[in-house]
Structure 1
Amino acid sequence: MSLPPTRWELAGEDNRGYGQKFALLVEQGADVDGEARLADVLVGRRACILDVGSGMGRVASALRARGHRVTAIEPDAALVAQSRRTYPDLEVVHTDVLAADLSALQGQVDLVVLVGNVMVFLAPGTERDVLRRVRDVLAPTGRVLIGFHPVDGPATARAYSPEEFLEDVAASGLRADLRAGSYELHPPADDYAVWVLSRDDAPRAVTSSGHPLTAG
């Protein structure tokens, strides 16, 4: 399948600092599991998890270590190679989410993870295509964890306002159940957005007064 170049691809060598940064953090024993801790509490034990844009593998590896069944896909060959060096027990599929064969996961995934600014590095105009692919693999009560900089992100990333993101979410058969400003669930912030999504036909959580919970 011929796909348009992503914003990540168009940046070329300017992206190499990302892998180098996290390689150093891992070598120093720094805490790089913030996203994985939140992902872990969103699912039951031995969950089926799809990590889209798994990068150098730190989130997928941390979730696998917690006992989950993780499929990791990453389109950047250099990051795939780094992931295989750093986490040799983690299987990473070298592919783009729009080209990946996800038929075996259709309707089976408990959680899809798209963190590390994946959404703002996609090819222009493919955001809804990616979200629809994500929706297709979700189990009926499956969820999606997304995190990105809406503004002031990396130089080649797009600006992606919460309003536009929510329009794309709704158009893709998904809904937002939670918005926070960090993976520790701080209040919503302008500089970083963390979202938990679900299928638009999934049961809604309700408040003590019986009103459905919503995120905006």
Structure 2
Amino acid sequence: MQAPPPGPRRARARRAVSEPLPPTRWALGGAKNVGYGERFAELIEQGEDVFGEARLADAMLARGSRVLDAGAGMGRVGAYLLDHGHRVVAAEPDPALVAQARRTWPGLEVLPLEILALSPDALATAGAPDAYDLVVCVGNVLTFLAEDTEVAVLERLGSLLAPGGRILAGFHLQRGPASARTYPPDEFVADATAAGLRVDHRFGGYDLRPVDDLYAVWVLSRA
């Protein structure tokens, strides 16, 4: 029996993988994003705690695990996990944030690539693993993706999981950054399902507080 054709959203997502990558909402945000990296640098200089996501990620891992920090920003999460004994590869397409991450944490391996560009060939060329025990995709990365690429991005992240691997994701449901989209939980779950993933857990924050309407933290694995 012939399988039914994919729905419009899934078809658009698949085309996005083979065609030139469309601009992300982050890239289109332009001046609206100015100050993000500087603000985190200031917080770190002041001794503020900016590692809540990383502590949860570390608690999910055995020592020496392979971690992909997808959409690493200025590198704070990946650097923390590196310091705690994991093999970390960070991927970040924004040149300014790549430069900041490399300057701030010289030991952190940062690939200047978007998530959809993390092909097996690209990872092999960089000498990076092609499978990971944990993929971290936090800090509103999923709300800054290019339009209609959400399923394709989730498929790519799922394809990079080692057996038993998981994805840790998080984003604002309300009051998010100005250039980000709103990503309703039911739509995210539908996209994750279409990408061959299942939702193992949902929380209201990286401290594992109960679900709320402001922020969502997700733990995903292959269906």
TM-score normalised over the length of structure 2: 0.86
Query: 1:179, CA displacement in angstroms?
Result: 0.4
What residue number does 1:65 align with?
83
What residue number does 2:98 align with?
80
Q: Is the 8 A contact 2:89 2:109 kept in 1?
A: yes
Which segments of 5 or more consecutive residues in structure 1 lack a partner in the other structure?
201-216
3-state SS of the aligned residue for 1:98?
helix
Q: State how far apart, in whole Å, the 2-side matches of 1:29 and 1:151 are.
A: 27
What residue number does 1:147 align with?
170
What residue number does 2:14 align with?
none
Query: 1:38, CA displacement in angstroms?
Result: 0.2
Candidates 26, 30, 38, aligned match of 1:12: 30
Matched residue type, 1:139: A
Q: Is the 8 A contact 2:137 2:170 kept in 1?
A: yes
Q: Is the 8 A contact 2:32 2:178 kept in 1?
A: no
Task: Identify which range, 21-30 or 53-62, moves more after superposition.
Answer: 21-30
What residue number does 2:141 align with?
118
Which segments of 5 or more consecutive residues in structure 2 lack a partner in the other structure?
1-18
Percent of aligned positions with the same letter in both sequences?
A: 57
Q: Is the 8 A contact 1:52 1:97 kept in 2?
A: yes
Candidates 180, 184, 191, aligned match of 1:161: 184
3-state SS of the aligned residue for 2:33?
helix
1:14-29 correspondence to structure 2 within 5 Å? 14-29=32-47
Query: 1:26, CA displacement in angstroms?
Result: 1.0
Q: What's the Cα RMSD here? A: 1.1
Query: 1:32, CA displacement in angstroms?
Result: 1.1
Q: Is the 8 A contact 2:68 2:134 kept in 1?
A: yes
> How many residues are aligned here?
199
Query: 1:17, CA displacement in angstroms?
Result: 1.8
3-state SS of the aligned residue for 1:39?
helix
Q: Runs ≥4 in structure 1, deviation > 6 angstroms?
A: none
Q: Is the 8 A contact 2:26 2:179 kept in 1?
A: yes
Matched residue type, 1:163: D
Which one has more relative contact order, counting CA pairs under 8 Å at least 6 apart? 2
Q: Is the 8 A contact 1:151 1:161 kept in 2?
A: no
- The structure with the largest helix share of the pair is 2
Q: State how far apart, in whole Å, the 1-side matches of 2:148 and 2:27 are.
A: 15
Query: 1:90, CA displacement in angstroms?
Result: 1.0
Query: 1:155, CA displacement in angstroms?
Result: 0.9
3-state SS of the aligned residue for 1:160?
coil
3-state SS of the aligned residue for 2:34?
helix
Task: Identify which range, 52-61 or 28-37, moves more after superposition.
Answer: 28-37
